[in-house]
Structure 1
Amino acid sequence: MFFTALQWKSLISTALLVADQIEHYIGIMSGTSMDAIDAVLVRFNTDNTLDTIHTHSQSFPDSLRQNLIELIQPSWTGSLSDIASLNAELGSIYGETVNQLLRDCDIAKDDITAIGNHGQTIWHQPEHEHAYSWQLGDANRISEASGITTVADFRNRDIAASGEGAPLVPAFHEAVFAHPKETRVIVNIGGIANISLLSPDKDVIGFDTGPGNGLMDAWCLKHLGKAYDENGKWAAQGSIIPELLTQMLADPYFARSFPKSTGKELFNLAWLAPFLSPEMAAEDVQATLLELTARSIVESVKAATDEITTMYVCGGGFKNKQLMARLQALLGDTKLDLTTSLGVDAEWVEAVAFAWLARQTILGLPGNLPSATGAKGFRVLGAIYPA
């Protein structure tokens, strides 16, 4: 089923599709930061609104997280058997996460229409001769463990239609956060950062700006043994290294026109290594990595528009006070806020988005935006694994 841009605008003109009854969906997200599995129960109401009913966050087992981190390194020397095993293990853990969510909020599985699971991205290669995006997390096991229909593998239909397969959240952002008079920018800062530019009278612009938390987390783990730099305190102790920042910003990705998408297969410590020299202090490198994230986000926004009134942040990066401070400094008079003020908690936007995307799939409606992914048309996304 294909949709024109005009038909798509009509479908989301009231923010959400009208349903004749209240529906419940679950969204699961484990992003490129690999800090936790987030699951959220979402209620879709008959008055074109949605509500977050309950949330649950479950940490990755240390061994699983370490295996996943190693898997996406260029130096990885594992086997196909290792990947298959991780796929099964992740699927089982996603299923456990759903069941814990249901126990916590005391809702029956029969009251849930479907689960939307993004899966754990291990490699994203939209520019390959045979383009693909690979997420682990066996949806068969999620459906089997929970007894709930599961929708997964959202990205590859868009790629089959000549798109980047990412970012997918701009469609959700437009449906839920767009304003009839204001131009808004939604910035999701996970391991990779992406933006959605929502204009009242123009097609949505959405793309990955580059590294979000991912490089900072990897550098922090290497030097402090910690998964992340809490509140950016370590980065705040360092000083920006101008020549390092200049070299990193010279990467061709930043100059590419959008639509575009990327991941840790590009922005990792192996990418960083050639830019470093022995005299660089670790905290100074961390400060520079934080500046790279802030600068690449703001410069991407300014290249796309000069009309924004407010930038709304979501994703784990909003917890980094130093990063938020640098974003505001670079934005100048433009207001910086969180999506929480628009009705969806900044911590849970992506998980809610995949509940919404699952609903689009179940209803036979498109989940991508060609203006964001570059696909040759609107497409119904995902594969359905029945209960």
Structure 2
Amino acid sequence: MQNAPEHYIGLMSGTSLDGVDAALVELSPHAAPHLIATYAVTMPPPLREALLTLCHAEQASFAQFAVAEEAFCQLQADAVNHLLRQQALAPGDIRAIGSHGQTIEHAPNGHNGGPAYTLQLDNPSRLAELTGCRVVADFRRRDLAAGGQAAPLAPAFHQALFQASHQDHVVLNLGGFANITWLPAGTAAPLGFDTGPANVLLDAWYQRHHNGTFDRDGGWAAGGRIDQALLERLLSEPFFRQPPPRSTGRELFHLPWLERHLSGEEKAQDVQATLAELTAASVTQGITPLLGETPFTLIIAGGGAHNGDVCQRIARYLPKATLSTPDAWGWSADWIEAGAFAWLAYRRLHNLPSNLPSVTGADGPRVLGGVYAP
């Protein structure tokens, strides 16, 4: 039956490289997406290091890609199979898995005059074998082929979840990178784009100076002082002045990029505080031209939603915003991205477009993703 609810599993591994998130989602044409269950599997340190090496490699062998891809695919399958066992479901109960893969490099404007490209390490054929489920994957390149940025893709899902007729909503995803989706009240087209780095630099700088993987609740950053001169040097990066559509990734923002802006006299904790301020300032630079003094609801999602220091900085910059979380819509802040790829798989199997040309700059709506049978 065409209108009967269907079950999908969305898989997401973001630029923070901390693990694979799996979300079981119920989807139907006449109801909002419903999150049923979730499971997260931690990225093993050797795989994380292998992926980081590939992200920053000037040269890499096919064997390196094959080894990393197999380990990553096994991790995805572990997440899916655990979720199936947890919910007492058979592979046939799942209409499809929506797999984002792991972004290795994203260059929607090309590199040194070359063609545009985006590379997500993934093996949907292998994932179908390991899980017994149909897999939908390779979502980004269709939008890229149509002249778009291929990112962000989540805004169409944000629209399905959060659009309201009475007030502007902005969805802020604080992952490795920060991106926003502006959902205007009424019928105007949404806008969305990357605003700059978030956890990618905060985590990397913290890891350089501590044994842990991230600055819990932003406590270390909160105890530092903002280095205003450093902040201005960081904000001088041309990306922050680039009009949307725009997207970015590790190919631009990484530790060597930060180090090029350091004088060598800064205290490590002050650098962390300045990176937190950079996230807040660049998010604000993205939002303010859209809304000015108009009150709006700011829905904060992603791992950075748990960073109280960064959220407080953003709140200070945006006094007209009412801060909220996805919980009011039945979603945890941690599961929006995985849920989005379940929804994208649903759209693909129903032959429905799922990019937003107003966001990515593509020539028009496109059906995204390829289908891999079990």
Tell me the TM-score normalised to structure 1 length: 0.93
Give the Å deviation of 1:70: 2.2
State the alpha-carbon separation in 2 of the partners of residues 46 and 288 from structure 1.
45
Give the Å deviation of 1:212: 1.5
Residue from 306, 326, 331 that aligns with 2:318 = 331
Aligned residue in 2 for 1:51: 34
State the alpha-carbon separation in 2 of the partners of residues 342 and 196 from structure 1.
16
Residue from 138, 143, 153 that aligns with 2:123 = 138
Q: 1:171 to 1:42 in 2, by over 3 A?
A: same
Residue from 229, 234, 242 that aligns with 2:228 = 242
Structure 1 segment 43-192 matched on structure 2, within 5 A: 43-45=26-28, 47-73=30-56, 78-128=60-110, 129-192=114-177
CA contact (8 A) 1:42 1:50 kept: yes
CA contact (8 A) 2:172 2:179 kept: yes
State the alpha-carbon separation in 2 of the partners of residues 52 and 264 from structure 1.
30
Between 45-54 and 106-115, the greater mean CA deviation after superposition: 45-54
Give the Å deviation of 1:308: 4.4
Aligned residue in 2 for 1:13: none
Aligned residue in 2 for 1:272: 258
State the alpha-carbon separation in 2 of the partners of residues 292 and 309 from structure 1.
22
Give the Å deviation of 1:49: 2.4
1:313 lines up with 2:300 in the alignment: yes
SS at match of 1:49: strand
CA contact (8 A) 1:89 1:137 kept: no
Give the Å deviation of 1:77: 5.1
SS at match of 2:22: strand
CA contact (8 A) 1:185 1:308 kept: no
Q: Deviations over 1:23-51 (max 9, x none)?
A: 10000001001111100100124641222
Aligned residue in 1 for 2:352: 365
- In structure 2, list runs of 5 or more residues that go unmatched: none
**Amino acid of the structure 1 residue aligned with 2:261:** F
1:195 lines up with 2:186 in the alignment: no
**Amino acid of the structure 1 residue aligned with 2:68:** L
**Amino acid of the structure 1 residue aligned with 2:348:** T
Give the Å deviation of 1:69: 1.6
Give the Å deviation of 1:305: 2.2
1:289 lines up with 2:275 in the alignment: yes
State the alpha-carbon separation in 2 of the partners of residues 142 and 80 from structure 1.
19
SS at match of 2:31: coil
State the alpha-carbon separation in 2 of the partners of residues 46 and 264 from structure 1.
36
| Percentage of matched positions with identical amino acids | 43
Q: Deviations over 1:105-149 (max 9, x none)?
A: 111211110000111001000001311110112111111111110
SS at match of 2:243: coil
CA contact (8 A) 1:25 1:42 kept: yes
Aligned residue in 1 for 2:286: 300
State the alpha-carbon separation in 2 of the partners of residues 46 and 384 from structure 1.
20
Aligned residue in 2 for 1:39: 22
**Amino acid of the structure 1 residue aligned with 2:121:** L
Give the Å deviation of 1:300: 0.6
1:263 lines up with 2:249 in the alignment: yes
CA contact (8 A) 1:191 1:212 kept: yes
Q: Deviations over 1:287-340 (max 9, x none)?
A: 000110111011210022223411101000001111111111111132111122
CA contact (8 A) 1:184 1:308 kept: no
**Amino acid of the structure 2 residue aligned with 1:26:** I
CA contact (8 A) 1:164 1:375 kept: yes
State the alpha-carbon separation in 1 of the partners of residues 206 and 224 from structure 2.
13
State the alpha-carbon separation in 1 of the partners of residues 356 and 67 from structure 2.
33
State the alpha-carbon separation in 2 of the partners of residues 35 and 60 from structure 1.
5
State the alpha-carbon separation in 1 of the partners of residues 272 and 2 from structure 2.
48
Between 158-167 and 222-231, the greater mean CA deviation after superposition: 222-231
Aligned residue in 2 for 1:10: none
Aligned residue in 2 for 1:205: 191
CA contact (8 A) 1:139 1:151 kept: yes
CA contact (8 A) 1:91 1:140 kept: no
Give the Å deviation of 1:237: 1.4
CA contact (8 A) 2:27 2:346 kept: no
State the alpha-carbon separation in 2 of the partners of residues 260 and 117 from structure 1.
23
State the alpha-carbon separation in 2 of the partners of residues 272 and 386 from structure 1.
44
- In structure 1, list runs of 5 or more residues that go unmatched: 1-17
State the alpha-carbon separation in 1 of the partners of residues 275 and 59 from structure 2.
28
